């Protein structure tokens, strides 16, 4: 069996950033999958499920309500390795195209107050597995340490 593309990235060299993971054609449309890497794989501790679940709820709500991007959002969800998230957007896009959107989204998460959207038994299959304070901490860390002054080497996968 062939190794899939995401397993060919050198995860020893990979650092937090925004990367184009893949582009797929669906009919006439290009879908761009972004790797939103929040922690350094195999170097930093992975994120716990509660904070990842909270980030997922907040980010998905933010993205699907965004005035300029909501019609292009296909998917937002966690990586199985718990080092980041995948975002799929309609369009042939590059990492710099979404930096302002990610800055806005992570600012929204880092400063969120109130009840997490969809965090109820009626709305979610695991609503008790949430950690808003830690989600806010991690969002603030990613925003201030990576997104606010993102460099080219954090926008292109390492060779």
pLDDT at 6: 81
Helical H segments across the chain, by residue range: 49-65, 95-110, 132-145
Query: Is 159 a domain residue?
Result: no
Is residue 51 in a domain?
yes
Are 57 and 117 in contact by the 8 Å Cβ rule? The answer is: yes
Residue 147's closest CA among 31, 33, 34? 34
CATH code of the domain covering residue 57: 3.30.1360.80
Tell which residue, 62, 55, 21, 24, has the closest CA to residue 155: 21
- Name the band, by pLDDT with cuts 50, 70 and 90, for residue 7: confident
Q: Name the residue range of residue 9's domain.
A: 5-154
Tally of domains within the chain? 1
pLDDT tens for each residue of 21-59: 999 999 999 999 999 999 999 999 999 999 999 999 999
pTM of the model: 0.96
Q: What is the mean pLDDT of residues 77-83?
A: 97
57 within a domain of the structure (yes/no): yes
């Amino acid at each position: 069996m062939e190794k899939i593309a995401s397993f060919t990235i050198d995860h020893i060299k990979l650092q937090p950033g925004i990367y184009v993971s893949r582009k797929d054609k669906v009919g006439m449309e290009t879908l761009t999958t972004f790797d939103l890497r929040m922690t350094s794989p195999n170097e930093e501790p992975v994120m716990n499920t509660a904070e990842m679940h909270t980030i997922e709820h907040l980010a998905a709500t933010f993205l699907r309500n965004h005035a300029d991007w909501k019609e292009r959002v296909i998917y937002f969800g966690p990586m199985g390795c718990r080092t980041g998230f995948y975002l799929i957007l309609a369009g042939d896009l590059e990492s710099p195209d979404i930096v302002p959107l990610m800055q806005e989204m992570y600012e929204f998460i880092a400063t969120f107050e109130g009840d997490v959207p969809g965090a109820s038994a009626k709305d979610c299959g695991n609503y008790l597995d949430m950690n808003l304070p830690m989600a806010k901490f991690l969002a603030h860390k990613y925003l201030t340490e990576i997104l606010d002054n993102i460099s080219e080497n954090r926008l292109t996968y390492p060779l």
